[in-house]
Amino acid sequence: MLMVPKLRLVEPSNIYRKVPTRRPNAEMRTREYLTPNEVEKLIAAAKLARHGQRDATLILVALRHGLRAVEIADLEWSQVEWGRNPALHVRRAKSGKPAVHPIRGERGGPFTADAVNRLVKTIGARAKLPFRVHAHMLRHACGYALANAGHDTRLIQDWLGHRAIQHTARYTELSPTRFKEVWR
């Protein structure tokens, strides 16, 4: 014989309790990327810190290579190829496509993605930008800068390590000034 427990309906003890909800990103920030001028302010502010050169380099590498915070935190010297054609071997997070990017141009513990985000937020506040800054904005700034410079969407897709083109297409929607010279 199968025993079935008797269940009874219980009323909640606190009917006024509300579950907190997170506001959408669009309400918290007016946009998800930084302009070249804002990136320069961010780098200048980074240079004022105790580890200014390291922090400014972190910002520049994140921007130039379109890296996520976790990808910055996981960078290792073994990913840097020196020699006649130096390159950065980018291991993408989130099942992204790995890529090899050309390179132009003291603490004992490793960075974590949270530490990178905190650092970029702190530098953003020091730069006195009129909105909160996070590390992923550098990745978006990279995509928009490449698109505004007229680079092919497929190239941007590979550079950022997107598997699907729809994740890259957002960067081509921004600047109408890109078309200024089309029929001249």
Active site residue: 29, 54, 121, 136, which one?
136
Active site residue: 41, 64, 65, 68, which one?
68
- 57: burial class by Cβ within 10 Å (0-12, 13-18, 19+)? middle
Backbone angles phi, psi at 87, to 5 degrees: -150, 160
**99 within 8 A of 65, measured Cβ to Cβ:** no
Active site residue: 94, 97, 132, 154, which one?
94
Q: Which residue in this structure is represented by tokens 């990103």?
A: 25
CA angle 158–159–162, rounded 5-degree value: 50
Give catalytic status of residue 136 as yes or no.
yes
Task: Give the contacts of 44 (CB within 8 A, at least 6 positions apart).
Answer: 127
Active site residue: 101, 134, 139, 140, which one?
139
Give catalytic status of residue 17 as yes or no.
no
Q: Which of 123, 106, 112, 129 is nearest to 47 (CA)?
A: 123
Give catalytic status of residue 171 as yes or no.
yes
Q: What residues are annotated to the active site? A: 68, 94, 136, 139, 162, 171
